[in-house]
Amino acid sequence: MPVAKGEGLTDFELFSRFSLDKVQDWITWLNAAGDLVYVNEAAYKALGYSKEEVYGLNIFQIDESYSPASWAAHFASLKTLGAKTFETQHRKKDGSVLPVEINSNYIEYNGHEYNCAIVRPIIERKRAETREHIKNHVLDLVARNAPLKSILGYLVQGVEEENPERLCSILLLDKSNQVLKNYVAPSLPKGYCEAIENLEVGPSVGSCGTAAFRGKPVIVENIQTDPLWKSFKALAAQYGLASCWSMPIIVDHHEVIGTFGIYHKTPKVPTQADLEQMEYLSNLARIAIERHRAAEELRLSDSIFKNTSEAMLVLDIDGLIIATNPAFTNISGYSAEEVIGHHPMAFGSPRHDQDFYSAIRSDLEEKGSWRGEIYGVKKNGEEYINWVTVNTTNDEKGQPFRRVVLFSDITEKKKHEESIWYEANYDALTHLPNRRLFQERLQQEVFRANRVGAKVVLLYLDLDGFKEVNDALGHQGGDQLLIEVARRLTHVVRITDCISRLGGDEFTVTLVDVQDSQAATNVATSILDLLQAPIMIDTHATYISASIGITVYPDDAEDASALIKNADQAMYEAKKRGRNQYSFYTQEMQYLAQRRTEQKRELRHALANHEFEIYYQPVVEPKSGMVTKAEALLRWRHGTMGIVSPAEFIPLAEDAGLIHEIGSWVFIQCLEQALQWRSRFHPDFQISVNLSPVQFKNTAYFDRWFNLLASTAASKHCLCVEITEGVLLDASDKTSEQLLRFQEAGVEVAIDDFGTGYSSLAYIKRINVDYLKIDRTFITHLASESADYPLVEAIIMMAHKLGLKVIAEGVETASQLALLTQIGCDYIQGYWYSRPLSADAFEDWLSARMQNPA
């Protein structure tokens, strides 16, 4: 039963109502049936009704949570309690809901029961609560690594639930294409979403494209009239969208990563509260996206941390380990628990001292990073080498926060490098330092000697006749011999001295901190003594000696390289003086060495300058006195030095590689000469040509000789080649082959200087030698009582047995001639008959002799 509006009320009642109308709180009186009997102005205005309209209503029309039964129950409980405060929602005239807090009071008045309610709108509080709820839930989802899509989906859904008129969407920027893509929009029509997929970012691309472009909110109240929507308004109309407010989602204060949009189906102007809420929501979306991305990164780094093969340690700023990865455990053998809380130093090698770590620390403090090699010790005690990189991470304030240590085990690499270094610096056979290391060390010793004012002595050692041993024993035997020599050398020197093998059979010994040359003499004598004892190679006792050159720094040279040269010259001198001895470097040697260099240079032009001349020394058959042979001996007529002996320049020509050219010239000259003398003096005339062993190393030009010989019918045996035993020793198949070719070409072969080398008749037997020339050293002291006599006799006898003819060289006296004739020597060569003569002089000599033989 509705109460008449204001009728029948006392003045006081009217006054009260009048004043209640002025109260800002909303006040409603309801009777037990739920009719609104009094509503103050604030209340009906808030609900959107006029004064007239509101008095026709009852509670069920403005609060749908009540039914008549629940209202009755509510009223009954109010009667017993007196008052009650609760929250509910009122439906406004326009249909929208209004969250309210109600303070209901039971009142009896004039015998009637009333419910007097003080109603307070709680939109703000409700909003705040919803927001808080959404925020907490969103952050909780982020923390639980929920997929970003479901996080943002929840966010949008929350907003839409709060106000069903709203249709929300979040678009995210595709960084590579610079277009916006639909990310979540649960309530927007599907067709619309598809149509705006890959939305361009630009100055007038609807609300969202423009908001992303401007980096500022874009509020379009009416899509149909707003110029920004010109190209999309038809689309919007098709899907019934009338307004669109868009808020850019911005990270790092400037980077737009997407948009948060709210659509309405009717044109809508946002209130200040709406704008604030949107800003708040887009901010929340930003946080979710950012955190999610950070979490992604974290997950990524975590998986890198766990799965990389490089060991990692994370240290706090005091240098204590706070985390390790599995690779660290794999490499070091220590579990995380065993190392966390300790300083990495505790697992370092004793090789590194406090200073080492202090240097790293100060580098880190200064630059924030460090890299280098650190030795560590594994749990099993094994030492290993790491390549270590340390970097610093900073906290939000930019202060150093953590050190990240990355390291990889480079022990194997190091070992490999070391073995490469060893190979580069040590001789593989003897394990002595090689030439490279020797030079480096000598250089260091020279610098040191300069500093402390000491001397450095260099001994340069070359084995005597090593080549022969090598040939006789084979390479393996030669190697064994070198190893044994190296071993003996190490017994002679002090630990500070350095022995090295330069290559082949050359060694050096460097003595440091020496005050005088006596030490050098002592060491050299000891070396020679030690080498005296035979070296057993398999079952053969082998004898070897050495020639040693000695030089002293700073007495003899100004630097290391000059010192090496000096020592070499001194060694050369020791060889020349007869081997198995030492020789100190002298200025004279330097002079000679310089002269050798000079001569070598001049020798290059000697042939072109016609400075060579061939001399001929007759070879006489003693029984008949016939002269049908001569030896060609080369002379160098030097511009200033006069005639230079072949003993001096042939070795130089060999060294300088000129011997081939010179030798070839001699050979061809002699061939012409022999043919000429054959026709002039005797049809069997023969000239012997000396061939150097070096010439057999490159035999290509021999072909030319053979061609020349073949082209001349009368050339058979007009030439004989003289080779030394050395050539035979070197008798590789190639050499024997060449000698055979000479013989096939009609050239005879003589062994020169027989008896001075590694004389072996076995070699001679191997190839078909025609003549044996007994060296002058056996002839010089030849007398019937001399020791050489039976030797010479034996040589001649054996040679004859092998079918060889014998020529005695250097016969100077009548008695030598007589003895040799008596023993049965086939030919005689020597000053007794004639010195070597120029071709003209030889012809004169021979003509004279033919007229007057004997």
Residue partners of 379: CB distance under 8 A and separation at least 6? 332, 333, 334, 338
Q: Which is nearer to ligand C2E, 368 or 646 (CB)?
A: 646
The string of DSSP codes covering 188-237 is S-HHHHHHTTTEEPSTTSHHHHHHHHHTS-EEES-TTT-GGGTTTHHHHH
Q: Which of 343, 331, 308, 315 is nearest to 379 (CA)?
A: 331
Residues 808, 832 contacting (CB under 8 angstroms): no
Q: Looking at beta carbons only, is 471 or 809 nearer to ligand C2E?
A: 809
CA distances from 827 to 221, 721, 779, 833, 854 (A): 135, 16, 13, 12, 14
**What is the amino acid identity at position 214?**
R
**Please, how many CA atoms are within 13 Å of residue 482, restricted to the half-sphere of its CB?**
25
Q: Are 567 and 459 in contact, with CB atoms under 8 Å apart? A: yes
In terms of CB distance, is 40 or 695 closer to ligand C2E?
Answer: 695
Q: Alpha-carbon distance 772 to 183, whole Å? A: 108
Is residue 620 involved in binding ligand C2E (CB under 6 A)?
no
Q: Does 836 bind ligand C2E (CB under 6 A)?
A: yes
Nearer to Mg ion, 602 or 753 (CB): 753
Residue 433 site contact among ligand C2E, Mg ion, none (CB < 5 to 8 Å, cut-off depends on kind): none
For Mg ion (CB under 5 A), the number of binding residues is 5
CA distances from 330 to 309, 311, 342 (A): 9, 8, 18
Residue 540 bridge partners (DSSP): 537
Q: Which is nearer to Mg ion, 182 or 690 (CB)?
A: 690
Q: Which of residues 639-668 bind ligand C2E (CB under 6 A)?
A: 645-647, 650, 663, 666
Tokens of 281: 């929501």
Query: In whole angstroms, how close is the CB of 692 to ligand C2E at the nearest point?
Result: 4
The two tokens of residue 848 are 């004279």
**Residue 622 interacts with ligand C2E (CB under 6 A)?**
no
User: Of these partners, Mg ion, ligand C2E, none, which one is at the site of residue 464 (CB under 5 to 8 Å by kind)?
Assistant: none
C-alpha 268/C-alpha 282 separation (Å) is: 19
CB of 832 to ligand C2E, least distance (A): 7
Task: For residue 757, give the 3-state DSSP assignment.
Answer: coil
Is residue 752 involved in binding Mg ion (CB under 5 A)? yes
Regarding 267 and contact with ligand C2E (CB under 6 A), the answer is no
* Complex with Mg ion: residue 505 or 722, whichever CB lies closer: 722
Please say which residue, 41 or 812, places its beta carbon nearer to ligand C2E: 812
Identify the residue among 409, 497, 654, 722 touching Mg ion (CB under 5 A): 722
- What is the rounded CA–CA span in Å between residue 452 and residue 640? 47
Q: How far is the CB of 682 from ligand C2E (least distance, A)?
A: 21
Does residue 634 bind ligand C2E (CB under 6 A)?
A: yes
Output the CA–CA distances (angstroms, integers) from residue 447 to 84, 96, 460, 559, 651, in the order listed: 105, 100, 20, 9, 36
Q: ∠ CA 801-803-805 to the nearest 5 degrees? A: 105
| DSSP 8-class letter at 807 | E
DSSP state of 433: B
Scanning 44-52, 440-448, 759-767, 830-838 for contacts with ligand C2E by CB under 6 A, the matching segment is: 830-838
Mark the segment that binds ligand C2E (CB under 6 A) among 75-83, 308-316, 630-638, 726-734.
630-638
The residue among 427 and 809 lying less far from Mg ion, judged by its C-beta, is 809
Among ligand C2E, Mg ion, none, partner that 847 touches (CB below 5 to 8 angstroms by kind) = none
Query: What residue 666 binds from Mg ion, ligand C2E, none (CB within 5 to 8 A, per partner kind)?
Result: ligand C2E
Within 533-642, residue ranges assigned H as helices are 560-576, 587-606
Length, in residues, of the chain: 854
- Smallest gap from Cβ 645 to ligand C2E, in A, equals 5
Ranges within 453-492 binding ligand C2E (CB under 6 A): none
Q: Write the interaction track for Mg ion spanning residues 172-211; mark x where CB under 5 A is met and - where it is not.
A: ----------------------------------------
By rule CB under 5 A, what string of x and - marks binding of each residue 649-688 to Mg ion?
Answer: ----------------------------------------
- Count of beta carbons in the 10 Å neighbourhood of residue 276: 12
Nearest distance from residue 535's CB to Mg ion, in Å?
A: 31
Which of the ranges 367-375, 387-395, 684-692, 819-827 carries the binding residues for ligand C2E, by CB under 6 A? 684-692
Interface segment toward Mg ion; rule CB under 5 A; list 122-130, 209-217, 239-247, 714-722: 714-722
By C-beta, is 392 or 673 nearer to ligand C2E?
A: 673
Q: Which is nearer to Mg ion, 445 or 753 (CB)?
A: 753
**Of the candidates 15, 421, 447, 831, which one interacts with ligand C2E according to CB under 6 A?**
831
In order of 652, 821, 822, the CA distances from 623 in angstroms are 39, 7, 10
Alpha helices in 493-586 (DSSP H): 518-532, 560-576
Map residues 803-822 to x or -, x wherever contact with Mg ion holds by CB under 5 A.
Answer: ------x-------------
Among 169, 690, 724, 834, binds Mg ion (CB under 5 A): 690
Please state the closest distance from residue 694 (CB atom) to ligand C2E, in A.
8
Distance of closest approach, residue 567 Cβ to ligand C2E, in angstroms: 28
DSSP string, 362-391: HHHHHHS-EEEEEEEE-TTS-EEEEEEEEE
518-532 helix and 466-492 helix, angle to the nearest 10 degrees: 120
The reply to whether 505 sits near Mg ion by the rule CB under 5 A is no
**Residues from 712 through 751 that contact ligand C2E (CB under 6 A):** 722
646: partner contacted, choices Mg ion, ligand C2E, none (Cβ within 5-8 A by kind): ligand C2E
Contact 654, 692 (CB under 8 A): yes
- Give the span between the Cα atoms of 269 and 249, in whole angstroms: 21
Strand residue runs (E) in 651-803: 686-690, 719-724, 748-754, 771-774
Stretch that binds ligand C2E, among 305-313, 498-506, 575-583, 828-836 (CB under 6 A): 828-836
Identify which of 25, 24, 29, 26 has the alpha carbon closest to the alpha carbon of residue 6: 29
E strand or H helix that includes residue 475: helix 466-492
Helix or strand holding residue 235 (H, E) = helix 233-238
CB-neighbour burial class of residue 22 (10 A; exposed 0-12, middle 13-18, buried 19+)? exposed
Q: Indicate whether 812 belongs to the interface with ligand C2E (CB under 6 A).
A: yes
Candidate ranges 335-343, 478-486, 585-593, 719-727; the one touching Mg ion (CB under 5 A): 719-727
CA–CA distance, 593 with 519 (Å, rounded to integer)? 26
Q: Name the binder of 633 from ligand C2E, Mg ion, none, CB < 5-8 A by kind.
A: ligand C2E
Q: Which stretch binds Mg ion (CB under 5 A): 239-247, 280-288, 728-736, 746-754?
A: 746-754
812 binds, among ligand C2E, Mg ion, none (CB under 5 to 8 A by kind): ligand C2E
Question: Using the rule CB under 5 A, is 748 a contact of Mg ion?
Answer: no
SS3 436: helix
C-alpha–C-alpha distance, residues 126 and 134, integer Å: 12
Which amino acid is it at 752? Answer: D
Q: Kindly identify the residues of this chain, within the stretch 751-810, that bind ligand C2E according to CB under 6 A.
A: 752-753, 776, 809-810
430 vs 816 by CB, closer to ligand C2E: 816
The contact set with ligand C2E (CB under 6 A) reads: 617, 632-634, 645-647, 650, 663, 666, 690-692, 722, 752-753, 776, 809-812, 829-831, 836
The contact set with Mg ion (CB under 5 A) reads: 690, 722, 752-753, 809
